Amino acid sequence: MAVFCSHSEEETYAFAKAYAKGLAPYDTLLLEGEMGAGKTVFAKGLIAGMGIADEVTSPTYAYVNEYGGRIFHFDCYRIESVAQALSLGFLDYFERGGVCIVEWGENIKGLLPANCKRVKISGRGNVREIEY
Ligand SMILES: Nc1ncnc2c1ncn2[C@@H]1O[C@H](COP(=O)(O)OP(=O)(O)OP(=O)(O)O)[C@@H](O)[C@H]1O
Ligand SMILES: [Mg+2]
């Protein structure tokens, strides 16, 4: 894995926007890192980089936000079981031929497709190491 060092929210957003160019239909990207690491900031850059102009908000309450029928942004922080995820129709999203962006994927381990891409964000203050 390579590492990019970001010094601001804007730099993380810009890096993610460029990273998005390497994503293809059916890709699932796991965004890893602690609470406040910058996963949603990264997701916002990705979604902009994929040509979506809509405002992006954290899907914490909706679990999944959909953009243009081809980008699915998951926040699984509050998912408590595989059964709950199944009942929310999570499996269908992975088969829709879009790009899935997943925060807190460890909570839906058994449901994730094989060969997910991974980005791991860590750091403190305004500095973040982005492993990709
Ligand atoms: N270099 C940086 N890159 C990204 N975010 C940064 C950076 N420096 C500071 N921040 C701040 O860190 C916070 C990241 O919040 P964000 O919602 O993206 O985290 P998250 O990983 O999605 O958390 P959660 O697990 O709660 O969903 C923002 O307040 C952002 O301004
Ligand atoms: Mg988030």
Q: Reply yes or no on whether the pLDDT at 43 is more than 80.
A: yes
Ligand nearest to the CA of 38: 1
Domains along the sequence of the chain with CATH: 3-131 (3.40.50.300)
Three-state SS letters, the chain = CCEEEECCHHHHHHHHHHHHHHCCCCCEEEEECCCCCCHHHHHHHHHHHCCCCCCCCCCCCCCEEEECCCEEEEECCCCCCHHHHHHCCHHHHHCCCCEEEEECHHHHHHHCCCCCEEEEEEEECCEEEEEC
Q: What is the pLDDT of residues 46-94, one digit of tens each?
A: 999 999 998 999 987 779 999 999 999 999 999 999 999 999 999 999 9
Residues having CB within 6 Å of any atom of ligand 1: 6-9, 11-12, 33, 35-41, 58, 77, 103, 126, 128
